Amino acid sequence: GIPDPPDALRPTDVPGSIHPSAPPAQSTADVNTDPAARDVIIVGAGIAGLRAAQTLQQHGRRVLVLEGRNRIGGRIWTDESTGMPLDLGASWIHGTQGNPIATIADQLNATLIATTYDDVQRFDPTGNPLTNNLNDRIDALLERSFARARAHAEEQNSDISLQAALEAVLDQEPLDAHDLRLLNYAINTVFEHEYAADSSQLSMRHFDHQKELNGGDAIFGRGYRVIIDFLAHNLDIRSGHIVQRVAYADDGVTVVTAHGALRAHAALITVPLGVLQRGGIVFDPPLPSSKQRAIERMGMGLLNKCYLIFPEVFWGNTTLLGYVGERKGEWAEWLNLNTLLGIPVLLGFNAATFARTIEAQSDASIIQSAMRTLRIIYGTDIPQPVDYRMTRWAADPFASGSYSFLATGAAPNDYDTLAQPVGKRLFFAGEHTHRDYPATVHGAYLSGERAANEMLSTNDA
């Protein structure tokens, strides 16, 4: 028999089950004669899985999507329980030009709000706004140190981390404590937040290899979930179905959940890299060692969000607030949702090690820590938040992190290895399988489309 999943693997985040679980499916019959058998079982109802399912269904394939959580969307998750659409996963369309997500948003008449990262006000450790000179100095320090670090890394025989390269450069040309703090702030907000990893983890050779779309970035006025709802329309999705095991052979696949085993011609695995890394699904036979090694080499980063909802707005109008504090990465970046959405909400971001440390604490102490920073900037008489929403993406067993990055020693080729089908029946998609646009919604979406086309071009699936 199949043992019950441990408690940690039970679905936890439950803002309403969108697609209630169907009755247990028992079929283990032959895939060719069993009328209940599907052409394709897709594991994961994130954007990659949903786009693949939609594409396959449009081509007449019988598709079943199995989702472990009691909600769909994966790392796209709009929480509306406060009455405001708060995106706990992805917020931005990164580059609206030629972006399939922007195309769907346009079709749906969804409100998009353009954002710019230049509109930022920064504060020093005592809460004073930085002068223009100091703001310029941050940019200059970053530009110079980064260019020299890159040059240094290129002279090495093997890959080193961004931090190791920076330290080598700073050894030759030391900065005083003040400049070092400015540089650390820039490294944190420019690189560590974007790649969700410490500079000591990022591959200096490759970490920023990905391509970027033009057209500027935008967020959704009513939340990212419009995209998910559109893609999920008319699909057969079973939520609360945690896939434990996938057996594959030349004649089909068997996908096992606590509800039973299901047969299909082929399976598409879209679970996050973090889930693959911790062996969240057992593959039978085990995945080829080339794929296993790529899974291990690649990094799974962490970016957490903390929404603080206030009774009134006590901050200014700039889109972003920066805190250039003494401790690198500590509540260094805030998004002003009053300016963007007209709601009295500040969104704090934390990445990598600081995010991991914070994640382990109670909600109350996380809020206390955030408020300490805001009080330094805005004074001790600012109001307490009336409500909040915060994420713990590392502890979430259906994500085990936020998104993939190229760790020291990994290379862009690893994305291709993760994308490769295994045999004729087992396929892979997800943000971590898109070489050009990893760690994004559009990359995940395009990876689902690619996997669906791979399946359609083999006669069996």
Where do contacts with ligand FAD occur on this chain (CB under 6 A)? Answer: 43-49, 66-69, 74-76, 89-92, 94, 242-243, 270-272, 275, 280-281, 303, 305, 391, 393, 398-399, 402-403, 430-431, 439-441, 444
Nearer to ligand FAD, 160 or 266 (CB): 266
DSSP lists the bridge partners of residue 388 as 308
Report the DSSP pairing between strands 86-87 and 237-238.
Answer: unpaired
Short-list 336, 345, 427, CA closest to 387 = 345
CA distance 297 to 414: 8
Q: How far is the CB of 447 from ligand FAD (least distance, A)?
A: 7
What does 105-166 look like in DSSP terms, one character per residue?
Answer: HHHTT--EEEE-TT-EEEE-TTSPBPPHHHHHHHHHHHHHHHHHHHHHHHTSSS--BHHHHH
Q: How far is the CB of 428 from ligand FAD (least distance, A)?
A: 10
Q: How far is the CB of 184 from ligand FAD (least distance, A)?
A: 22
Nearer to ligand FAD, 49 or 325 (CB): 49
CA distance 72 to 238: 9
CA distance 184 to 188: 6
Nearer to ligand FAD, 332 or 441 (CB): 441
Nearer to ligand FAD, 198 or 431 (CB): 431
Nearer to ligand FAD, 85 or 430 (CB): 430
Q: How far is the CB of 213 from ligand FAD (least distance, A)?
A: 10
Nearer to ligand FAD, 161 or 440 (CB): 440
With 0-12 CB in 10 A as exposed, 13-18 as middle and 19+ as buried, what is 337? buried
H/E stretch holding 63 reads: strand 63-66
Q: What is the CA radius of gyration of the chain?
A: 23
Nearest-10 crossing angle of helices 225-232, 47-58: 30
Nearer to ligand FAD, 159 or 414 (CB): 414
Structure tokens that stand for 421 in this block: 């089908």
Q: How far is the CB of 403 from ligand FAD (least distance, A)?
A: 5
Q: How far is the CB of 273 from ligand FAD (least distance, A)?
A: 9
- Long-range CB pairs of 358-367, under 8 A, 24+ apart, other chains included: 358/304, 359/302, 359/304, 359/392, 359/393, 359/394, 359/395, 363/388, 363/390, 366/306, 366/390, 367/306, 367/308
Q: How far is the CB of 156 from ligand FAD (least distance, A)?
A: 30
Q: How far is the CB of 408 from ligand FAD (least distance, A)?
A: 21
Nearer to ligand FAD, 439 or 461 (CB): 439
Known binding residue 243? Answer is: yes
Q: What is the DSSP letter of 305?
A: E
End-to-end CA distance of the chain: 28
Residue numbers in the known binding site for substrate are 349
Residue numbers in the known binding site for FAD are 243
Residue numbers in the known binding site are 243, 349
